[in-house]
Amino acid sequence: MRHPDCSADGAAVQPSSGFGAGWAGTLLQIATTRDLVLTMVLAVVFYAFYYPLPYRQQATLSVPVIVVDEENTPATRALAQALGDTREVAVAGTVADYASAVQAVKQRQADGIVLLPAGLTRALAAGEAGAGVGVWVNGAYLTRASAIGTAIKGVVLDAVRRQAGPLTDQIHRQAPAELVVRPLFNPVEGYASYVYPAVSLLILQQTLLFGSAMLIATRRRAGRLACTPGYFLGTLSALVCVGTGAAAFFFGWAFWAEDMPRTLQLGHLAWMVPLYAATVASLGMAIGSYMPAPERAMMWLAPTSIVLFFMTGAAWPLDQMPRLTAWLAQLSPATAGVQAFVPINQMGASPADVARWLTLLAALCAVYGAWASWRLCSGRRALPPSGHIDSTSIAR
């Protein structure tokens, strides 16, 4: 059985055309291949609006809680009412004992419990150590638990200041300086505004990476893997055009439609985006040259998406990761992309501010480009060691 990279006489197939044929042929192949259109075009449009959909409300809203009012005085009843007036909390009911509240949570009538213990007003007035409000929420949702805790803290302090009157001076003595946090780059403090710009870089990477690998794997299966340097550059340029178009759609229209923070520094993006696309496309072409069939791109690369997101440094700072993990994370173009594009796109930074990450991106582009060209332009070195054809590589 002949190898898929070889012609009928066993020789590696060499395209006879150069850059222009590679560029036009690649775009034509993408436009006429259903799986490539789905992966490199429609998936970009789909994820641009599907991903931010669950976070559209931006902040924690109306989490139902049960208030346990053991004191049952006008002051604690006012506290419970004030809790219900916040955007984060909705009071689903008020009970007198903790056991009843636990039973309500078990019956899914509420997601959390707020305990106003007996003697709360007196304890706050006396400044007793440990006096305060108890909160029990599902800790699996860190953002929600943090928002509820912040809301309850604000309500308790405001209520005590308004109703305790003479105790205000004592509270001020306990907190002589008030900390006011004013976000500069995400003024609404929305979760979508925080996570979506970072995830968009990973979406752009994965769709272009999958598509590039599928394209090269398709050529490999058809016996057209080996090519001339001109044809290779034409192919890479066409993939960069597709990746640049996808990025323009995300950073322009999708960010505008989703009302994401954006600075639109078009002069910087005009060269940063093609650099990012070239890095990703080169990596995809190199990986695709090892795949016996385009279907393997999804099988091999799809499981990496979640891991790569957590390694971008968006969810957890890179300098807080173990050294080896942080080093491996920088092999993914999305890591440098997130660290460079988010400050440029959302914070008004300049390329000099993210020079380290742009340098890393350029280095990755050179390495992955050399790897891909070696695999595709070095003739028979691109061929696998045996003539085995995988069962999934049968041409359709």
**Band of residue 170 on the pLDDT scale cut at 50, 70, 90:** low
For the chain, the residue count is 396
**Antiparallel, parallel or unpaired: β 63-69 and 134-137:** unpaired
Q: How far apart are the first and last CA of the chain?
A: 17
Tens digits of per-residue pLDDT, 201-210? 999 999 999 9
Tens digits of per-residue pLDDT, 149-161? 777 777 767 766 6
**Band of residue 73 on the pLDDT scale cut at 50, 70, 90:** confident
**Helices and strands, number each (H, E), in the chain:** 17, 4
Tell me the percentage of the chain whose pLDDT exceeds 90: 37
**Given this model, what pLDDT does residue 121 score?**
75
Question: Contact at 8 Å (CB) between 210 and 284?
Answer: yes
Strand order in the sheet with 89-95: 89-95, 63-69, 112-116, 134-137
Fold of 63-164: abc type-2 transporter like fold (3.40.1710)
Q: Which of 62, 55, 64, 91 is nearest to 76 (CA)?
A: 91
**Given this model, what pLDDT does residue 232 score?**
94
Tens digits of per-residue pLDDT, 223-258? 888 889 999 999 999 999 999 999 999 998 898 888
The reply to whether the predicted model has a pTM over 0.95 is: no
**Band of residue 357 on the pLDDT scale cut at 50, 70, 90:** very high
Question: Contact at 8 Å (CB) between 328 and 311?
Answer: yes
Tens digits of per-residue pLDDT, 174-184? 555 566 667 77
> Mean pLDDT, the chain, as a whole number?
82
Q: Which of 226, 237, 259 is nearest to 378 (CA)?
A: 226
Q: Which of 14, 1, 10, 2 is nearest to 219 (CA)?
A: 14
Residue ranges per domain, the chain? 19-54+191-378, 63-164
Angle of helix 229-248 relative to helix 266-288, nearest 10 degrees? 130
Contacts 24+ apart (CB under 8 A), 350-355: 350/268, 351/268, 351/272
